A and B are shown apart, each in its own frame.
Chain A
Amino acid sequence: MNFAFSEEQEELRRTVRQFLESKSPSGEVRRLMDTTEGYDPAVWKQMGQELGLQGLHIPEEYGGQGYTFIELGIVLEEMGRVLLCAPYFASVVLAGNAILNAGTDAQKQALLPGIASGDTIAALAFTEPSGKWGADGITLTAKESGGAWTIDGEKMFVIDGHNADLLVVVARTQGTSGTDGISFFTVRGDAEGVTRTPLSTMDQTRKQSRVEFSGVAAEPLGTPGEGWPALSKTLDQAAVALSNEMVGGAQFVLDQSVEYAKVRVQFGRPIGSFQAIKHKCADMLLEVESGKSAAYYAAWAAAEDNDELPVVASLAKAYISEAYFHATAENIQIHGGIGFTWEHDAHLYFKRAKSSEIFLGDATYHRELLAQRIGI
């Protein structure tokens, strides 16, 4: 039994942290969050060319570096810590894993090298206006005629949909319901019949769009109608990835709270000497550390690709969603008035935490999923 990162993994963390601290300071986050694209193409390019981050967990045969979900988790944790504005989660985690899970070998050969190098930005269009995260939320229809497929319908909350060169779209074949008929397709972002509308997001550091498809010619990814296992796995992996990202932000706001509690003086003493504040920090630490244990363990299960994955994915997403939000909320309270300003970063983490909590299903949703998965 050994629950620690290797020296090489710690080194990766140091390198990524250094890079992100110089490329994504708060000022940059604020500059980018006011743009429609919401990321810096030059930094994106450096991430791919200098650090190879986009291809980190993609197998070498598909142009990646062949590392695992553990390394991916480390990188995401660091990104969450600084609220990096980039289409990384959309392209590498959501679309990249969908292609890995659903695609044929030839499709992986064709699509993944671009994602791995960062030259292609991809997005996964799966959620619809209903906001449902399970199979029954997929209603966008796919029709076949003479071996050619067309898709019609609307996708919502598509992370970085408007930035994507490549859209991976989840549809259902006509006349099916539930987990039957779920199908993956790929479409170029600027294909004929695709309308993309950037949305005004509560969390401005992560962009979303509405994507409408009207009689769009689409290329099947894997076998149409048999996509549910791949989608389910992609969502579990995404929940694990997001959990790792969230603990990075949670640790950051805990540090911020503790730092402030040591220096802010009221009634002639640092506010951190008051138990009301001290105990909040202690509870935050407990939840952040527990969240890390869950996130790292889940990353390991995803790396091993073992049967624990569905259970630990829901478990981690449920626990960490609440822990992260709680930490960001306490951080505002501990800062008092300054914590309520636009100028202070506390609200950026607060908003990221709430939208991460809701994205992929909130804690209640995942606890129900967990109940089913452990046979309750």
Chain B
Amino acid sequence: MDFRDTPSEAAFRDEVRGWFSEHLVGDFAALGGRGGPADEEGWDVRIEWERLLGADRWVGMSWPAEYGGRALDYAQQVIFNEEYARANAPGRISFFGEGLFAPTLIQFGTDEQKRRFLPKIQSVEELWCQGFSEPNAGSDLANVQTRAVLDGDEWVINGQKVWTTLAHRADWCFVVTRTDPESKSHHGLSYLLVPMHQPGIEVRPLRQMTGSAEFNEVFFTDARTARENVLGPVGEGWKVAMATLGFERGTAFLSQQLGFQRELTDLIEVAQKNGATADPVVRDKLAGHYAGVQIMKYNGMRMLTNLLHTGVLGPESSIGKLYWTNWHRSLGETAMDVLGTDALLVEHEGDGDYHLDDLHQTFMASRAETIYAGSSEIQRNIIGERVLGLPREPR
């Protein structure tokens, strides 16, 4: 047991810090850590920043060198992300492309597909979105009804996706479709890669409770994609989709802890300024969140150690998702307690405008976290069945 960096980890950390102190300046530094999957704050600045990251191969840092990556191991990725949070760099925007699609592509794609798509993810020339959920396929993703049929050298797609984050910004979408019309449940699905800019696709924004519209409905009406744009074998899209979900629920959280720590530090500062820290109930809650975010770090270190030793992240990573989403949600609630009557007001710039400061953003955006990427209820099912070995529900 030793929590210090090894000499090579320390050297890598220095390199990363050096990179940030050189590049995180001007508008990039001014934006702070704002922005995320449900927050489009500072979009243009963030695109530029992401391109800077890509140019130095920090986008795709885990990819094999032959595809332009740095082939960093998990420990190095965590160090990079820790330093990223420490530097308070802008919120990432390539989550769907770099975080979800790229690792799935590396696992299932042909060499040609990898050479076609990875470089443009790294250069931030092509953004991706995730076309999984449908009106009747949420937690029960296997109930997907969007259909695709081959027409010569092209797939023709019809159906509807929903809650598609950043579909209005994306150039491509990875879409779970039903390619065998006779099939049911998780059989007969295929994982198609579909260009977004075409007449057969209509994107309609859905306004979220935060007031902004990061997610959308996406309608496919004879939308088309080339025959070779299927990832993994036709009819075996379920396996590929599950891998994507594994990446979504798996390692992502390992690096979030410092960002959460910062949010808590900021909240404590607000509480000290407005006098809320004189209230013993608020003190109790803040200290509880502190304990919680530290334990999140310790949990992450244990999982990372395990990952480094075994190379795989087991179903216990479900604990991580359940843990951080609950922690963050209750932090958001405490933030409102700290604000007191100030919680009653949001920023307002004119009729119909509804704009959130950071604390209200945490309070509201955190409600989505226990829903997406496998709701808390689904996570508890997974923990119960796959980790503890409890019997499944009869179906």
Contacts and interface: CB of A to CB of B under 8 A. Distances in A.
Interface of A: 1-6, 70, 258, 261-262, 269-270, 272-275, 277-279, 281-283, 285-286, 289-290, 292-294, 296-297, 300, 312, 315, 318-319, 364, 367-368, 370-371, 374, 376
A262 B389 CA distance: 8
Interface stretch (B2-10, B103-111, B186-194, B366-374): B2-10
Contacts of B298: 3, 290, 293-294, 296-297
A258 B393 contact: no
A269 B388 CA distance: 17
A286 B271 CA distance: 29
A315 B295 CA distance: 9
B329 to A, nearest CB: 14
A272 B305 contact: no
Contacts of B393: 273-275
Nearest to B280: A368
B288 A318 contact: yes
A224 B299 CA distance: 42
Contact of B284 (A278, A281, A367): A367
Contact of B283 (A272, A296, A368): A368
A274 B291 CA distance: 32
B253 to A, nearest CB: 13
B9 A4 contact: no
29 contacts: A1-B2, A1-B4, A4-B309, A258-B388, A258-B389, A261-B390, A270-B390, A273-B390, A273-B391, A274-B393, A275-B380, A277-B390, A278-B385, A279-B384, A281-B384, A281-B388, A282-B380, A282-B381, A283-B380, A293-B301, A294-B298, A296-B1, A318-B288, A364-B284, A367-B284, A367-B291, A370-B287, A376-B283, A376-B287
Nearest to B75: A1
- Tell me which of B6, B283, B377, B394 has the highest count of chain A C-beta atoms within 10 A of its own C-beta: B283
B83 interface: no
Nearest to A273: B391
A315 B290 contact: yes
B302 interface: yes
Nearest to A291: B295
A285 B4 CA distance: 28
Contacts of A315: 290-291, 294-295
A278 B389 CA distance: 10
B387 A1 contact: no
Interface residues of B, number: 50
Contacts of A290: 295, 298-299, 319, 323
A2 B309 CA distance: 10
Nearest to B302: A3
B391 A262 contact: yes
B286 A371 contact: yes
Contacts of A300: 1, 3
Given A282-B383, A290-B299, A367-B288, A273 B392 contact: yes
B268 interface: yes
B272 interface: yes
B287 to A, nearest CB: 4
A262 B305 contact: no
| Residue among B3, B292, B294, B295 with most chain A CB within 10 A | B295
A8 B295 CA distance: 26
B391 A269 contact: yes
Interface in B127-159: none
A70 B1 CA distance: 9
B277 interface: yes
Given A367-B291, A368-B287, 12 more contacts: A258-B388, A262-B391, A273-B391, A273-B392, A278-B390, A285-B387, A286-B323, A290-B299, A294-B294, A367-B284, A371-B277, A376-B272
Contacts of B223: none
A371 B334 CA distance: 15
Interface in B259-285: 268, 271-272, 277, 280, 283-284
A368 B283 CA distance: 7
A293 B295 contact: yes
B290 A370 contact: yes
Greatest chain A CB density within 10 A among B9, B277, B288, B392 is at B288
A283 B394 CA distance: 22
Nearest to B78: A1
Contacts of A296: 1, 298, 302
B305 A275 contact: no
Nearest first, the 7 A-B pairs at minimum CB distance are: A278-B384, A293-B298, A272-B390, A282-B383, A367-B287, A282-B380, A371-B287
A281 B383 CA distance: 9
A286 B303 CA distance: 13
A3 B78 CA distance: 14
Nearest to A4: B305
A1 B381 contact: no
Contacts of B284: 364, 367-368, 371
